[in-house]
Amino acid sequence: MVEQTGNIDALLQEERRFPPPEEFARKANIRDPGVYDEADRDFEGFWARFAEELHWFKKWDKVLEWDPPFVKWFVGGKTNVAYNCLDRHLGARRNKAALVWEGEPGDWKVYTYWDLHREVCKAANALKSLGVRKGDRVTIYLPMVPELAIAVLACARIGAPHSVVFGGFSIEALRDRINDSQAKVLITADGGYRRGNVLALKGNADASLEGAPTVEKVLVVRRTGTADDQMVAGRDVWWHDLVDAQSAKCDAEPMDAEDILYLLYTSGTTGKPKGIVHTTAGYMVGTYATAKWVFDLKEDDVYWCTADIGWVTGHSYIVYGPLANGATTVMYEGSPDYPDRDRFWAIVEKYGATICYTAPTAIRTFMRWGEEFPKRRDLSSLRLLGSVGEPINPEAWMWYWQNIGGGRCPVVDTWWQTETGQILIAPLPGITTLKPGSATRPFPGIQAEVVDEAGVPVGAGQGGYLVLQRPWPGMLRTIYGDPDRYVEQYWSRYPDTYFTADGCKRDEDGYFWLLGRVDDVINVSAHRISTMEVESALVDHEAVAEAASIGRSHDVKGQAVVAFVTLKESVPASDALVAELKQHVATKIGAIARPDDIFFTAELPKTRSQKIMRRLLRDVAEGRALGDTTTLADPAVVESLKAQYDDDE
């Protein structure tokens, strides 16, 4: 039965429940559910207690100044994020592994906290020698090599805001980001490795600088040995020549709490990329607190976030959050299927990873490949799993829990955004009963709500819009150089309330179920249907590995549901299976959501951060010219889909 809400129809029901394993709960960092009420009674004090655990050159005068939509946290305080990630640990943890790195070809390296501190200080001195001063912006365009983490921390150490641009971005995308930030120095590499191929970054970097006049120097990491003849005299400097010659001592710059730590550009469907501004103290506290509690970090954990530092997940939960906690954090350069489809699990086995944090899209890919690949490896070291990037389908959650976690590891499904800086909705694994597909409850101190068009909270089980009604430490401060756009985009829909642009429902237990981006909702005969729920129903079928759904214009219904489906390997496509899948969706969530069309495809169009690009699927279904494919991992996928769709039409 479809419940009409007037906002977003909530169709799927999930009844499975997983309380914390007894042994896990007994040893968990957080064992008292009272932390939620405690944080609500005094949310400023709650965040201040985390701040007290960190190092300050000067303690704050005031925890919070809130003048909606502008905020300041830890006002008057002075600290340094790199100091808190490194120097603070040089006593008890100086010989502990801080960064464990593995390259795609199989080379690897371990940096202790002492090692990493020395390398960051040398890189910081190298940047100073290139003329970088506090406040100067540095663009970083690197593969997932140790120098990426080192460069980020070196910038933080001297107070130079960094702007990391994912190594897969195009020449134009890199140039736009350099120019918007007016970067003084670019850090890049000759290349990197991906699926056994060499990616030539230096050529892209050079081309991007044609029309980027603010860059004075280019610092180049030698990774592949492919750009020796591309160095520009007077501008380009080899990392190994400059950095290795520097002193290993560099004092950390005392930074005001609200000084910019970094810019990270996120692009929408239209308009120029938005430079999201994250500042020093609040972001540090937010990532420190959430990494500690959500991942239940212990002193002997080996923590692996599979993201790229080019995305916010890598900023917050490869570098800043784990290192501020004194954790061992793992970086991997390459793809999960090179040289074979068990590469991720080989890394877990090799380093004894205890925590694995990855994306639902990756999990659904692993489902398609089959169970044989994780079964090749010993995954018994794992004790906690995490999900990030988009809502996770219940069946993907179950596959992850069973086949990677062995049915013993809690799965912390986390909701947050580039703009939020830190995790905002997620389980606390020692006290939260898990429901597959739900990010569960807001982190203590976070005030989230699900509202209708008028801003009125919706009832249990109904769909609406996720909003945030209280400031949090890691939140963005503005869009770089465009405060009006910041106000319009995030704060204009409801008074003094942050609009996430995500659909959501909240169940009878107060658990939050993310329904995807608002612009991914399908309007069928006055019903607003979440793409995530249609996709979850499809993935629930035993033949389906992955699915994407979109709305196509329809003369009668307004929009019709169209689904693009990737089948599990060895499952043949057929007209009978199309009919079966349509009925499966109708049975699972209601006839209103039955797809009009289902198309089988070997791959779905995804960004390089593995998010499905439904916008391009809508272009295909509507017969429009393809939109911006700058962030697409493989443009040939869309062209193949378009040809198939045209043939079937």
Q: Is the pLDDT of residue 633 over 70?
A: no
Q: Is the peptide bond before 339 cis (omega within 30 degrees of 0)?
A: yes
* Phi, psi values for residue 322, rounded to 5°: -65, -45
Query: Fold for domain 521-648?
Result: GMP Synthetase; Chain A, domain 3 (3.30.300)
Which pLDDT does position 5 carry in this prediction? Answer: 43
Instruction: Return the percentage of the chain with pLDDT > 90, whole number.
Output: 77
Q: Which residue has the higher pLDDT, 233 or 270?
A: 233
Q: Comparing 152-166, 236-250, 481-495, 505-519, which segment has the lowest mean pLDDT?
A: 505-519
Domain boundaries, the chain: 22-448, 521-648
Average pLDDT, the chain: 92
Residue 536 three-state SS: helix
Q: Give 60-69 pLDDT, tens digit per residue.
A: 999 999 999 9
- Could you tell me which of 411, 415, 462 has the C-alpha nearest to residue 436? 411
Query: In CATH, which of 3.40.50.1820, 3.40.50.12780, 3.40.50.970, 3.40.50.620 is domain 22-448?
Result: 3.40.50.12780
Can you tell me the distance from the alpha carbon of 326 to that of 332, in angstroms, rounded to the nearest whole number?
19
Q: Is the pLDDT of residue 532 over 50?
A: yes
Which pLDDT does position 525 carry in this prediction? Answer: 67
Can you tell me the distance from the alpha carbon of 507 to that of 504, in angstroms, rounded to the nearest whole number?
10
Q: Is the pLDDT of residue 3 over 50?
A: no
- Which residues lie closer than 8 Å to 251 by C-beta, 6 or more apart? none
The number of residues in the chain equals 649
Which pLDDT does position 284 carry in this prediction? Answer: 98
Q: How much is the average pLDDT of 357-386?
A: 95
Which pLDDT does position 4 carry in this prediction? Answer: 38
Q: How much is the average pLDDT of 389-395?
A: 89
Three-state SS for 555-596 is: CCCEEEEEEEEEECCCCCCCHHHHHHHHHHHHHHHCHHHCCC
Q: Give 412-471 pLDDT, tens digit per residue.
A: 999 999 999 999 999 999 999 999 999 999 999 999 999 999 999 999 989 999 999 999
Residue 119 three-state SS: helix
- Give Cα 82 to chain centroid, integer Å: 21
Q: Is the pLDDT of residue 163 over 50?
A: yes
Residue 591: pLDDT band by 50, 70, 90 thresholds?
confident
Which pLDDT does position 519 carry in this prediction? Answer: 74
Residue given tokens 């939140």 in the structure block? 475
Q: How much is the average pLDDT of 186-195?
A: 96
Q: Is the pLDDT of residue 88 over 60?
A: yes
Which pLDDT does position 172 carry in this prediction? Answer: 86
Q: Is the pLDDT of residue 526 over 60?
A: no
Q: Give 327-345 pLDDT, tens digit per residue.
A: 999 999 999 999 999 999 9
Residue given tokens 């008057």 in the structure block? 76
What does the block give as tokens for 221?
A: 């990491």
Q: How much is the average pLDDT of 501-528?
A: 85
Q: Is the peptide bond before 33 cis (omega within 30 degrees of 0)?
A: no
Q: How much is the average pLDDT of 357-378?
A: 94
Q: Is the pLDDT of residue 643 over 80?
A: no
Which pLDDT does position 6 carry in this prediction? Answer: 46
Which pLDDT does position 517 carry in this prediction? Answer: 80
Q: Which residue has the higher pLDDT, 27 or 553?
A: 27
Which pLDDT does position 292 carry in this prediction? Answer: 98
Q: Which residue has the higher pLDDT, 170 or 475?
A: 475
Residue 315: pLDDT band by 50, 70, 90 thresholds?
very high
Q: Comparing 30-34, 54-58, 216-220, 357-361, which segment has the lowest mean pLDDT?
A: 357-361
Which pLDDT does position 586 carry in this prediction? Answer: 87
Instruction: Return the percentage of the chain with pLDDT > 70, whole number.
Output: 93
Which pLDDT does position 222 carry in this prediction? Answer: 97
Can you tell me the distance from the alpha carbon of 421 to that of 423, in angstroms, rounded to the nearest whole number?
7
> Which of 64-73, 171-180, 614-623, 638-647 is most confident?
64-73
Can you tell me the distance from the alpha carbon of 454 to that of 495, in angstroms, rounded to the nearest whole number?
11
**Cα separations in angstroms, 196 against 73, 107, 334, 335, 409:** 45, 13, 9, 9, 32
Residue 645: pLDDT band by 50, 70, 90 thresholds?
low
Q: How much is the average pLDDT of 347-369?
A: 95
Which pLDDT does position 204 carry in this prediction? Answer: 93
HSE-CB at 569 with a 13 A cutoff on CA atoms is: 9
Three-state SS for 22-58 is: HHHHHHCCCCCCCHHHHHHHCHHHHHHHHHHCCCCCE
Q: Is the pLDDT of residue 605 over 70?
A: yes
**Cα separations in angstroms, 263 against 183, 259, 416, 484, 494:** 11, 12, 17, 17, 26
Can you tell me the distance from the alpha carbon of 305 to that of 314, in angstroms, rounded to the nearest whole number?
7
Q: How much is the average pLDDT of 534-554?
A: 89
Which pLDDT does position 516 carry in this prediction? Answer: 82
What does the block give as tokens for 207?
A: 């081309």
Q: Is the pLDDT of residue 269 over 50?
A: no
Which pLDDT does position 169 carry in this prediction? Answer: 82
Q: Which residue has the higher pLDDT, 209 or 4?
A: 209
